[in-house]
Every structure is written in C-alpha cells, then in structure tokens.
Structure 1
C-alpha cells in the first residue's frame, strides 16, 4: 500500500483512464485533443503525476465530458490535493527525483514565467547541469537520475514551439552558483546565449550591482495565468489559489522590471563566462 496521497492519485488516474476507454480514444489522441504531451496522459492515468487544474480541464475537454462528470473528476483532484502529504521517507510513485513532475507541468503550459535565485530554471539546464540537480535530491539513484535527465532535456523542445512564450528572470548569483567544474558552467552559459536568441524566449538577469526589489524565499514558475509551481528538495507543488497566484505574479513583475534583457543580459552572461574561463585556466595549471 502507498500513502493516502498516492492512493488518491491512483484513483483519479483509474477514473480518467476508464473515461478515455469509454470514449474510444487512445492516449495519443486524447493528448492531441487536450494540447498536452502523451507522457502527461500516461503519467496521470497511472497515478504518477498530479495534474494542475488547467491540465485536468484540458483533459476533460478532450474527453468531451458533461458537467456532472467534470465535477466528479475535479472532486477527485481536490481529494488528492487535500490528502495528508507524503512523509520524507515516502518513495515517489515512479522513483524519480524531485523535478520531473515540474517538467510535465511546464510542458502543458503555453506561457511560462520563471524566476530563480539559486538554480537555473529547468527549461534552461544543460544535461550535465541537470544531472547535478537531480543527484542532489535525497534518495536519488543513478538509474532514476539518468531517466530524469533524459526527460528534462526532451521537455526543453517546447522552447522552440511556435505559439509558446517563455520568460526567465535570474539573479546574477544563479549564473555564478556552479556545480561540477568551470568547464561545465561554460557550456551551460553558452546554452543560455543560444536559447536567449529564440523569438519565443526572453531572458532577463538581475545584476548584482542593483538592489533586489524584494528578498525572495525561493524560486518559482508561473504556468499560464492560473497556477504556480514551487520545487522543493523532495517534491513539486502546483498551487492554483487565485490570491496566491496573483501574489507570485506581482513578485515576478517586480523582478522582471528590475532585470536587464537583450544586449545587456548577453553582455552580463559573457562577463560571467570570462570569469569562468579564468577560473578554469587557474585550476588546470
């Protein structure tokens, strides 16, 4: 038996799978109708992912559910969200490190706005940087880390999809907080410059020479305008309370207005890369 939360996740997944089968749809067809990735449908149905209210609404629309059935599945989601939280020793449903469910949530959003003050946003991480992130999660195994890294890299393809918008705001401290080696960070920062050039992406950096508009307690990712994802050491939480989402949106706006974008941001990243090159040379002498 799993935790109360896991049992309710499975109940929600079983009900959605039954409704899909009744509708005569494959997982791939439902994913296309709902505008989500097929892995999202699979993970929800197998009780390995808690869908955000927005994703659940898309699945309901894709299934063509009537109002009473929509209320039923929404009640099942509420039951998941109100279940007793897992204890630190509770294994994740698929054995994956924290962060993988966040990747799925980002995959289904059309507008992603992420502010980070310690770690690079998931969608911008290189494979080696992501490996260090997942390895730092309590209880992570090499096999699970490998799967998580592959999933994260695959999810990043959404950055190139027309019709999506991604806005990332980082403190300069994020660029200078490095795992592994200086050469790892040089490759990572080179990737930032490549992503920044995309028409679907805006990258802002808050220089250390400017005061922060607020003292952030943690990073966060806004999903469309209806939810916010917060990643912890052990899990991810998607919050959809309107007042809470509005508070995070206000905070994001403050940092967005204080950050530099475009040529100024690129120049700042290039300056950090110069420092890493000097550090790399000093460590290899």
Structure 2
C-alpha cells in the first residue's frame, strides 16, 4: 500500500497499543471487553488493518477513553481514510482472505454463506493457492505463506466445542480454478469434512430459487462479528443492526439448502461430472 496510508495506519495502531498498555490490559482482555476478535485487535495495533468506526468506538469504550482521547483516535482513523496515496502492494503484504481466517480462529460458532468461492476453512491447499494468486500484486513468497497459514488455521474444524455451518450455492461447486483434478481433490476434502460431527455443510441446488439474491459471501463469527467479503478485500463489522441483518439472511439461505444425505448425494453427483470432464480433456 502507499507509504502515507501505511504510516498513518501504523500511527493509529501504535496509539491504540499505547493506550491499552496504559490501561493495563492484554490484547485478549481488550478484545473480550470490546466484543471483537483478538486477531482484530492485533492487526489494528500492528497497522495491518483499518478498523471500522464502530470497531474503533468499541475499542475506545473498552479502554475507558475520555472524550478528548476518543476524539483523537477518531481523527487518526479519519487521517488513514483520507490518505491520498494510491495503495500499492508491499513486500510481505497479506492478500485479502486472511482476515476471515483469523476471525474464524477465535470463534466457537461459525456460520458462513458463499455464492462463488468455497469457504476459507474448506479449501484444499491448491484451491487456496489459486484464490491467493488471483489477488493483485502478490508475490510467490506471499502466496506460499498465506496458503500455509490458511491450512494451519483449518485445524479449528477438528477442535472439540466448536460448531461450523456452511451454506453454499451449487454455483460454488461448479466455479472451479485450475483443473478437474484439483476439483476432485477438493471434493474429497469436502466429503471428509462433511462427515465431522461438528460440521454441517448445506448446498442450495440450482433447481431451487434462492430466497434472497446473493451479492457476496459473508461469515458470522459467534454472535459478535460478521466478516463481509468483497471483490478485493474484507470488512469486519460488530454493529448490532448489521449483525442482525446478516443473521436473518443466513437463516434464509440455510432453510433453502439441503443437508446430510441430500447434500452428500449432490456433492458426489457434481464430483462425477468433474471426473467425466477430466477424462474428456485428457490427451
């Protein structure tokens, strides 16, 4: 990203980190008080994420800032948002896609809806590689680190005490990068994960009308935050009204989806089509 914007993000993060130290709080304690994920606190303090005004106000409230200091940090955020430099990739920058990974890591209940790309924690390493390589300005080294981080964070699916619900449109299963062989390996992973007692995977078949026209994917983390995914980035919101809206929307998609045996049958059907497609394109 441009140097001016980067420096302003660092200044905001450093100020918040200093205020947290003055308050005698750890990052985890601040996150809990503010009702946000600990990864969010860490990324903001290290200048790697621009918080929404709602997240900033929650952090300010949790820190017990007086009106003058709260106004100061809001001004620092405004300075970041008005930076004139055009964002440019820098060495070691993290591609879009890891914010949702980190938020999921800190949640006990995850509900994710996707209409184009598979949910992050369900992606095979090769599928994830194609996702990260599609981001502008990335390097092979950055992609490699991002894929490794994503695969490592997928261990949350196997941790006791967690619940994960994924709802996909059938279009997700048929929107494929790479090759049919890549997708066959990806379907093997989906079938393995679907068998876990802590995971539910639902698919909205193309023969069913969607209850709401999907515009983008999103992931609800517990009942405290939603990660909204856009074409070139992600936005974390803890606004109660926005959370309620996304929870209602997820419920509509969940009711339209098939689960269990029906979902598994659909996965196997599409998998067979990829197997046939692979045979058709093999020289």
Question: Is the pair's TM-score, using the shorter chain for normalization, greater than 0.5?
Answer: yes
Q: Structure 1 stretch 120-129 or stretch 222-231: which is displaced more? A: 222-231
Tell me which residue corresponds to 2:231: 233
**Contact 2:9–2:80 at 8 Å: present in 1 too?**
no
1:91 alignment partner in structure 2: 88
Tell me how large the CA RMSD over aligned residues is: 3.5
Partner of 1:255: 253
Instruction: Name the CA shift for 1:37/1:151 in 2 (closer, same or farther; >3 Å).
Output: farther
The answer for the alignment partner of 2:101 in structure 1 is: 103
Task: For residue 88 of structure 2, give the secondary structure of its aligned residue in structure 1.
Answer: coil
> Please, which runs of 5 or more residues in structure 2 have no aligned partner?
none
Match of 2:183 in 1: 185
Task: Give structure 1 stretches of 5+ with no counterpart.
Answer: none
| Matching residue within 121, 124, 128 for 1:123 | 121
**Residue 187 to residue 83, structure 1, CA distance change in 2 (3 Å):** same
For each residue in 1:125-151, what CA deviation from the matched residue of structure 2 results, as whole angstroms up to 9, or x when unmatched?
111001111111122221111111111
Displacement after TM superposition at 1:15 (Å): 3.6
SS at match of 1:225: coil
Answer yes or no: is the 8 Å Cα contact 2:19–2:63 preserved in 1: no
Separation in 1, partners of 2:67, 2:172:
42
- CA positional deviation for 1:71: 10
Question: Which aligned pairs between 1:21-36 and structure 2 lie closer than 5 A?
Answer: 31=28
Number of residue pairs aligned between Structure 1 and Structure 2: 277
Q: Report the Cα offset of residue 43 of structure 1.
A: 3.7
Question: CA offset at residue 98 of structure 1?
Answer: 1.3
The counterpart of 1:80, out of the listed 68, 77, 95, is 77
Matches of 1:41 and 1:243, distance apart in 2? 22
The question of whether the paired residues in 2 share the 8 Å contact of 1:119 and 1:177 is answered with yes
Contact kept in structure 1, 2:117 and 2:175, CA below 8 Å: yes
Assess if the C-alpha contact under 8 Å between 1:3 and 1:90 holds in 2.
no
Which residue matches 1:48?
48
Aligned to 2:140: 142
Moved more, 171-180 or 70-79: 70-79
1:86/1:12 CA distance change after superposition, 3 Å: closer
Q: Match for residue 3 of structure 2?
A: 2
Change (3 A) 1:194 1:74: farther
Tell me by how many angstroms 1:42 deviates. 5.1
Normalising by structure 1, what TM-score?
0.81
Matched-pair contact (CA < 8 Å) for 2:115–2:214: yes
Secondary structure at the counterpart of residue 270 of structure 1: helix
SS in 2 for 1:106: helix
How much has 1:271 moved relative to structure 2?
0.7
Q: Which string of whole-angstrom CA distances, capped at 9 and with x for unpartnered residues, describes residues 102-147 of structure 1?
A: 2222222222111111100111111100111111112222111111
When normalised by structure 2's length, the TM-score is 0.82
DSSP-derived class of the 1:97 partner: coil
Instruction: State how 1:134-213 maps to structure 2 within 5 Å.
Output: 134-213=132-211
Distance across 2 between alignment mates of 1:198 and 1:191: 11
Shift of 1:48: 1.4
